[in-house]
C-alpha cells in the first residue's frame, strides 16, 4: 500500500517536472481553456509512460516546490471528462492528500495516470486543440507531435523505485490515526474502524440525530493507510454506514428558496475492502433537483441578475441584498436545474466578483455549488 503523502514528497524531491510527472498550482475545470490544459497533460503523460504510472501533483508552487495546497476536489467524474475528449483514454484517479502544515480545508491533489499501451489522442477539439492531436512529454513540456511514438520503458525503473520508497508502514498508520483524532479534530466527535485487519478509516464531524438517523456536518473522512482524504465539506451533511467489509458515505445538499431549506441526497460513495489488501470505490448518483413554479423562478432569476449587475457597477448593497448574495450561488444553481440554461454560465462568469466579496462564505458557497454542478453535468451526459 502506497502512502500518498510520502509519494508526493518523493516525487517533488526526485527532480523538476519530467516525462513522468507534472505539478500545478491549481486545476481550473470551469473553463474550456482549463479543461484543455488538463487534458493535454493527461494525453502527453499517458503517451510518454505506456508501462508505468505517471502523476500530476496539484497545490504546489512551480518555482520552489512550496506546498501551498488546493481546495478539496471530489469530482469522481473526472474520468468521464477524459473519456469524452480522448481516444484510447488512460485510466486516471484523483486523490486528495492532507499535509500537516495545511489548513483543514486544503489538501494536495494527486492525479495518477495508469499505464496505457495504446496511443491517446484528442477525438474532438477543445479550446485551441484540434481533433486528432497527439501530445507527448519532452522534459517538463507537453508538446504536440505527428511522429509515431516508439514503445518505451525509459521511466519504469525510476517510477517503481519512487513508489517502493513510498510504501506505508504500521508506524505511519498509527501516527496518522493519533494525529487525526488527537490533534486535527480534537474539538469534534471522532471515530475509526479497521477493515480486514489492514485498512483504517477515520472520520470526524458534528453529530446530530434527526428521526433516529445520525448525520454529520463539517465532515472530514480519511483512509489513513494511504493518507487520502475521502470526503471533506464545511456545509453538507452526510450519513455514514459501515459493516465488516464496506464503508458508505451518503452526501446531502441543502437547497431551498424563500428561506425554506430541505436536504436532498446527492451521492453515495461506497468503499469495499477485500482480504487481499485491495479495495474499490463505487459512486452512486442520487440527486433529484427540486422543481419550482416557472413564474416564481423568472422573478428569482431576474433578482439574481440585478444583484450581479450591482456588484459589477460597484453599487453598495443593502443588508437584505447581502443576505441574498450569500445564497446567490445555490439559487442560480436551482434556476439552472429548473431550465434556465444560461444561469450556470452567469454563475461561472461571476467568479471574480464573488471572490472579492468581504464575506468569505460567499466564495466558499460558490465553490461548493460548482462542485455539485460538475457532478450533475457528468452524470447527465458524460461530457
* DSSP string of 34-76, one letter each residue: HHHHHHHHHHHHHHH-TTS-EEEEESB-TTT--B--EE----T
259 and 208 Cβ atoms separated by less than 8 Å = no
- Cell numbers 509515431 correspond to what residue? 148
What's the rounded Cα separation, in Å, for the pair 21 and 126?
A: 23
Q: In the numeric block, which cell numbers belong to residue 301?
A: 432569476
Which set of grid coordinates corresponds to residue 178? 493519533
Tally of residues, the chain: 383
Question: Grid coordinates in use for 23?
Answer: 505539478
Name residues whose C-beta falls within 8 Å of residue 277's C-beta, 6 or more positions apart in sequence. Answer: 1, 196, 198
Q: Which of 212, 223, 209 is nearest to 93 (CA)?
A: 223
Nearest CA-CA partner of 23 in 77, 67, 53: 67
C-alpha closest to that of 364 among 190, 106, 138: 106
Question: Which DSSP helix (H) or strand (E) runs through 222?
Answer: strand 213-223
Q: Is 260 helix (H, G, I), strand (E, B) or coil?
A: strand
Cα 380 to Cα 383: distance, rounded to the nearest angstrom = 8
Task: From residue 23, give the alpha-carbon distance in Å to each of 42, 128, 347, 382.
Answer: 12, 22, 28, 26
pLDDT per residue, tens digit, the chain (383 aa), is: 899 999 999 998 876 657 899 999 988 887 889 999 999 999 999 999 999 999 999 999 887 888 999 888 877 678 888 999 999 999 999 999 999 888 878 899 999 999 998 999 999 999 999 999 999 988 778 889 887 777 777 888 889 999 999 998 889 899 999 989 888 888 888 999 999 988 999 999 888 777 677 788 888 899 998 999 988 876 668 899 999 999 999 988 877 776 566 788 888 999 999 998 889 989 888 988 888 899 999 999 999 999 999 999 988 889 888 888 988 998 999 999 999 999 999 999 999 999 989 898 899 889 888 888 877 765 554 44
Collapse the DSSP code of 285 into the 3-class scheme (helix H, G, I; strand E, B; otherwise coil) and give the result: strand
pLDDT of residue 382: 43
Q: State the Cα–Cα distance between residues 263 and 212, nearest whole angstrom.
A: 16
Residue with cell 463539517: 218
What pLDDT is stored for residue 18 in this prediction? 73
Amino acid at each position: 500500500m502506497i502512502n500518498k503523502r510520502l509519494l508526493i514528497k518523493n516525487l517533488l524531491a526526485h527532480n523538476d517536472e519530467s516525462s513522468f510527472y507534472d505539478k500545478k498550482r491549481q486545476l481550473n475545470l470551469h473553463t474550456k481553456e482549463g479543461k484543455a490544459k488538463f487534458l493535454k497533460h493527461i494525453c502527453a503523460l499517458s503517451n510518454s509512460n505506456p508501462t508505468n504510472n505517471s502523476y500530476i501533483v496539484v497545490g504546489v508552487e512551480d518555482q520552489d516546490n512550496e506546498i501551498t495546497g488546493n481546495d478539496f476536489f471530489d469530482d469522481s467524474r473526472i474520468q468521464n471528462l477524459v473519456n469524452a475528449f480522448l481516444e484510447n483514454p488512460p485510466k486516471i484517479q484523483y486523490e486528495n492528500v492532507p499535509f500537516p502544515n495545511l489548513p483543514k480545508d486544503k489538501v494536495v491533489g494527486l492525479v495518477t495516470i495508469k499505464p496505457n499501451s495504446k496511443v491517446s489522442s484528442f477525438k474532438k477539439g477543445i479550446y485551441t486543440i484540434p481533433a486528432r492531436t497527439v501530445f507527448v512529454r519532452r522534459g517538463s513540456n507537453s508538446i504536440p507531435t505527428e511522429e509515431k511514438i516508439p514503445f518505451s520503458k525509459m521511466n519504469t525503473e525510476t517510477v517503481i523505485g519512487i513508489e517502493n520508497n513510498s510504501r506505508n508502514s504500521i508506524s505511519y498508520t498509527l501516527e496518522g490515526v493519533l494525529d487525526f483524532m488527537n490533534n486535527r479534530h480534537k474539538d469534534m466527535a471522532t471515530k475509526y474502524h479497521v477493515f480486514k485487519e489492514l485498512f483504517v478509516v477515520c472520520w470526524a464531524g458534528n453529530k446530530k440525530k434527526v428521526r433516529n438517523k445520525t448525520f454529520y456536518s463539517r465532515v472530514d473522512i480519511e483512509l489513513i493507510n494511504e493518507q487520502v482524504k475521502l470526503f471533506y465539506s464545511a456545509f453538507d451533511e452526510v450519513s455514514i454506514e459501515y459493516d465488516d467489509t464496506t464503508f458508505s458515505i451518503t452526501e446531502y445538499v441543502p437547497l431551498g428558496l424563500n428561506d425554506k431549506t430541505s436536504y436532498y441526497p446527492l451521492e453515495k460513495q461506497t468503499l469495499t475492502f477485500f482480504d487481499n489488501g485491495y479495495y474499490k470505490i463505487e459512486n452512486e448518483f442520487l440527486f433529484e433537483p427540486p422543481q419550482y413554479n416557472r413564474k416564481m423562478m423568472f422573478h428569482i432569476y431576474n433578482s439574481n441578475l440585478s444583484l450581479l449587475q450591482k456588484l459589477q457597477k460597484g453599487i453598495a448593497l443593502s443588508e437584505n441584498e447581502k443576505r441574498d448574495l450569500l445564497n446567490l450561488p445555490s439559487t442560480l444553481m436551482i434556476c439552472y436545474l429548473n431550465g434556465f440554461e444560461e444561469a450556470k454560465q452567469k454563475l461561472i462568469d461571476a467568479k471574480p466578483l464573488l471572490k472579492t466579496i468581504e464575506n468569505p462564505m460567499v466564495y466558499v458557497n460558490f465553490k461548493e455549488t460548482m462542485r455539485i454542478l460538475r457532478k450533475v453535468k457528468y452524470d447527465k451526459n458524460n461530457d
